[in-house]
Chain A
Amino acid sequence: MSTLFARFTEAKKILLLLLILAALLVMFFIPTFLSKYSVYLLTVILFTALLATSLNISLGYGGMLPLHQAVFFGVGAYAAALLLNKSPLPPWLSFLAAPLVAAGVALVIGTVCVRLRGLYFGMMTLAMGQLVWAIVYRWYEFTGGDDGIHGIAVPQVLRSIPAAYYTALIVFSVCLLIIYIILNSPFGIALQAVRDNHQRCESIGINIRHHQLIAFVLAGFFSGVAGVLFVILERSVSPSLLFWTKSAELLIMVLLGGMFTFLGPTFGAAVIIVLGVFLGVITEYWLLVLGTVLVLLILFLPQGVLGFVKEKISSSAPERKGVDKYAQG
């Protein structure tokens, strides 16, 4: 753990650990005092936060422009659904295999995409992603087409909202810890260096495409994990999980939270989902409100809410340098 939090001072480290433990403790007891719907909502927030964080691996830390991350979420969900319903595999193996399928798809798409830069990278992810969506949307025999798959054979133990919540909570915590470790490993540091300066990294012998591809596949894997959590909670899947607007929503969450902060995407996901629920009760036109808020945010707070807070707290803000460089590229 000492290397893990190397960036913090001793006191800050303890404070941070205590905060995390306290948060987990509160999260653990939540189903005992909150309503069923709130617990359901929290589960949605948890897997969406994992999804947004996985997007941030390639977007914020890898400096790529993955415009279609939701595809890997959808592939993970569909893989879990199909494995549970149609394969003789035991359920726990299906749950493990589904993120690997998502990672496999990410490997194929990533191999093609990392040859390209900037906008062309984004366009390629968009084209390939929509290709996967179109196949899922129309392949009635296998994926159920636009009807999706309903009544997925999730094991009986997981078929309650608290069970889905605890699964999501544990998986979310473990995955975020793993992502944190990866991003602060030598690989993660090199990845951020690639984001900040292509040429210099190339000249000191870092294989840029290699690093970006690994980051892309990792992002795909964790998106797939989020997809599995979705299946456990909802027990149904539909092609809209893979449509490009879903990816745009994710980009909004990451942007809102701040894409150069580790917990920014989690924060952004929580805000957007809670906002959607509460505004959805008040007005039918909550997307109009969201759109307006976003426009204001982009015009006046482009570094995101957590990024803004972070900037105010630490005057040095070493990561911002990379941001400006990336922003121009």
Chain B
Amino acid sequence: MAKENRSVIQPRSLARARKVDKVPFVELYAGRLQGVVSSGSDEDRVYVSYFEAGTGNFYCSTNNNRPCGGLRGSPCKHLASLLDEALLQYGAERLVHGLGLSAEPDKVKRGGDLLRFIKGGPHKIEAGVVFSRFLTYLHHVSVKPTTAPIPEMGWFVR
């Protein structure tokens, strides 16, 4: 029977595990690829970076809204690492679709291969918008597990 008449559908491509020490947070969310990248030099500093699907606009700043020094009209190294890690996490097909790029997924070997398809320019957004998503993300690993039954999870198979 057709997929439209099934209740349980296993998603085709899954997010994959990756090391999270350098780039602790990556997400394709609401038409943006966004994330948090650790500073190479200062352990307590993080950069908040994003690419917007469609426009191809991007930005990178510290979580205190100080613009990244590497951002001179083109993506900085933090934005490049964001793409690299996103490729590991989501795979080329989902990443290319999520950013609405014209790249051929089969030919993407590393995140940097996608940079030439990014047509936008630097466009500032408040770092807090992304950083609060990161805090919510961290909150998810801090909630105590429950042993109450959740029959509704029967709809979610991976």
Does B associate with A?
Answer: no
